[in-house]
Amino acid sequence: MLSYIGFRVLQVIPLLFAISVIVFIIIQLPPGDFLTSYVDQLKLSGNDVDESMIMNLTSQYALDKPLYMQYFIWMKNILLHADFGTSFQYKMPVSAVIGERLLLTMAISFISMVVIWLIAIPIGIYSSTHPYSPMDYAFSLIGFIGLAIPGFLIALILIYTVYSQTGVAITGLSSPAYAEAPWSMAKVWDMVPRMIIPVVIIGLSGTAGLIRVTRGMMLDELSKQYVTTARAKGLSERKLLWKYPVRTAVNPLISTVGWTLPTLISGEAIVSIVLNLPTTGPILLNALMVQDMYLAGSFILILSVLTVLGTLLSDILLAVLDPRIRYGGASA
């Protein structure tokens, strides 16, 4: 077991390195470096630009050094000092801008994932034990729509429908009273009902996908001979279902966490822009628009790293649950 975990962790390291290189390239992509845009920004707002300040910043970000040195300094600052650079738009360290929003993004994505599992697996099991029943068709139809229509369109349509029917604006995550308030239990409680809508929208396509997969896996299992044998021996339907096929069918689903999580985070980015949630999406878009690249790059870096770690965790979880993987070793 330990050797398997060790092996998986070792695999992750080059992946993380490659991600950091890609993000660094993204940061460098816009024409001109970040300092030029920063100085332009200052000049536009009518500030005096001090030569010594430019010099300072140049040496701080090693902009006078070759690119690979810039990369190493950027990485060193992140790894040793958790310093992701400066957002020139907010005139604050990136980590200060990101923190709270990242937490909310992760919270919403994680809650969505739990909700997806809680809803999709029972429905998938039901659909597989009642194939081609009216309910099965109904779930398939909902699934089709959920898979086909992206979250941001559903969000737009939902905002309009709710507003035109009730006059309530469902955008934002806090009611006005709490919008600027510091964090407290009351603020969190205020958020809970408002989180339902983003969670439902973000989770819809995932739910649809998982229902499909569960149903397919279950149908495969149910047609196997051991099920027939068990039934012939007089095992109760309930035990017959839950004891073996469900456990076998659900097992591989855990490995889907790996690709569900990035999809959720990805979907959250754009849904949150439409719903105007105080998460990473709107600020990432804004940062990209004004080419506040350290801010934008850091978002992508952190979201990717969290995704990789999530996948790693799900792989380890799968190994704990499934001895075949544990002893099969490297193939995963």
- The residue ranges that bind another protein (CB under 8 A) are 14-15, 18-19, 22, 26, 29-31, 144-145, 147-150, 152-153, 156-157, 159-160, 163-164, 169, 171, 259, 262-263, 265-267, 269-270, 273-274, 280, 284-285, 288-289, 291, 296-297, 299-300, 303-304, 307-308, 311
Query: In terms of DSSP H, where are the helices of the chain?
Result: 2-28, 34-44, 51-60, 67-81, 94-129, 134-148, 151-166, 185-222, 225-232, 237-243, 245-254, 257-275, 280-289, 293-321, 323-328
Query: Mapping DSSP to helix (H, G, I), strand (E, B) and coil, where does residue 311 land?
Result: helix
Separation between Cα atoms, residue 246 and residue 167, nearest integer Å: 44
Question: In whole angstroms, how close is the CB of 330 to another protein at the nearest point?
Answer: 11
Query: Mapping DSSP to helix (H, G, I), strand (E, B) and coil, where does residue 146 land?
Result: helix
Question: In whole angstroms, how close is the CB of 109 to another protein at the nearest point?
Answer: 10
Biggest CA-to-CA distance, the chain: 87
Nearer to another protein, 5 or 19 (CB): 19
Nearer to another protein, 111 or 246 (CB): 111
Question: In whole angstroms, how close is the CB of 312 to another protein at the nearest point?
Answer: 10
Nearer to another protein, 46 or 167 (CB): 167
Asked if 328 and 120 touch (Cβ cutoff 8 Å), the reply is no
Backbone dihedral angles phi then psi of residue 285, each to the nearest 5 degrees = -60, -45
With CA atoms as reference, report the closest residue to 27 among 102, 99, 81, 77: 77
Question: In whole angstroms, how close is the CB of 11 to another protein at the nearest point?
Answer: 9
Nearer to another protein, 41 or 263 (CB): 263
Query: How far is the CA of 260 from the CAs of 208, 244, 263, 268, 320, in angstroms?
Result: 12, 25, 5, 12, 20
Separation between Cα atoms, residue 120 and residue 213, nearest integer Å: 9
Nearer to another protein, 57 or 288 (CB): 288
Query: How far is the CA of 180 from the CAs of 173, 177, 274, 323, in angstroms?
Result: 11, 8, 20, 50
Separation between Cα atoms, residue 71 and residue 63, nearest integer Å: 10
Question: In whole angstroms, how close is the CB of 153 to another protein at the nearest point?
Answer: 5
Neighbouring residues of 332: CB distance < 8 A, sequence distance ≥ 6 = 8, 315, 318, 319, 325
Both structure tokens of 270: 């754009």
Question: In whole angstroms, how close is the CB of 286 to another protein at the nearest point?
Answer: 10
Nearer to another protein, 35 or 235 (CB): 35
Nearer to another protein, 240 or 270 (CB): 270
If one counts every other C-beta atom within 10 angstroms of the C-beta of residue 215, the result is 24
Question: In whole angstroms, how close is the CB of 185 to another protein at the nearest point?
Answer: 29
Nearer to another protein, 132 or 233 (CB): 132
Nearer to another protein, 116 or 300 (CB): 300
Question: In whole angstroms, how close is the CB of 181 to another protein at the nearest point?
Answer: 22
Question: In whole angstroms, how close is the CB of 297 to another protein at the nearest point?
Answer: 8
